[in-house]
Amino acid sequence: MSDIEQPQLYLITPPEFELEQFPALLAQVLDHAEIACVRLALATQDEDRICRAADAVREATTTRDVALVIDEHILLAEKLGLDGVHLSDGARRVAKTRKMLGDDAIVGAFCGSSRHDGMNAGEAGADYVSFGPIGQAALGDGTRASEELFQWWSEIIEVPIVAEGALDEASVKTFAPITDFFALGEEIWNAESPLEAFAKFTKLIQA
């Protein structure tokens, strides 16, 4: 059973960023509050671009002892010596990824709003399961991960749970008592002042 006190913070990088500028901004955000993990989530499939971005982001995370995982790219996680990988297709590749990367790697799984997928991912060896969106997202089919799902999971399942997608003030207040982590991404990076937006969310989460 999950014993949730105050949710921890988890950062998702923008899908595209300037290598010369973003790492400095990320470092400022990491210095503002304690962050459990950063997920490198680029839209590009260009391996060279991803590798250079990973190296740049790692400079900020390593010196602050923050875990760095990469979206989808299992082989690159191993090649670049990252802390692990985040899979977006539920439980399908969790067991295989765990076998490839070993017991020490972080393996996370995004399971949308599916309790069944989440349970399978946890049983297959995921270190955490993320559900979302928890707010009203502009993209997608309108399906949201429910408060009921998080409540049930926090009471029954030991695998840590991450709330992500379309976070706003209302959803943070609702889900804070029933999630282990909040994943912040475009909610802060798309703001006029990412640092101010991050500070606002941090204050809400820690309230």
Please report the pLDDT score of residue 138 as a whole number: 58
Please report the pLDDT score of residue 71 as a whole number: 97
Each of the 207 residues of the chain gets a pLDDT tens digit; together they read: 345 578 999 999 999 999 999 999 999 999 999 999 999 999 999 999 999 999 999 999 999 999 999 999 999 999 999 999 999 999 999 999 999 999 999 999 999 999 999 999 999 999 999 999 998 875 667 789 999 999 999 999 999 999 999 999 999 999 999 999 999 999 999 999 999 999 999 999 987
Please report the pLDDT score of residue 1 as a whole number: 38
* Fold type of domain 8-206: TIM Barrel (3.20.20)
Helix (H) / strand (E) containing 108: strand 106-110
Q: What is the domain partition of the chain in residue ranges?
A: 8-206
CB-based contacts of 128, cutoff 8 Å, min separation 6: 106, 108, 109, 159, 160, 161, 162, 180, 181
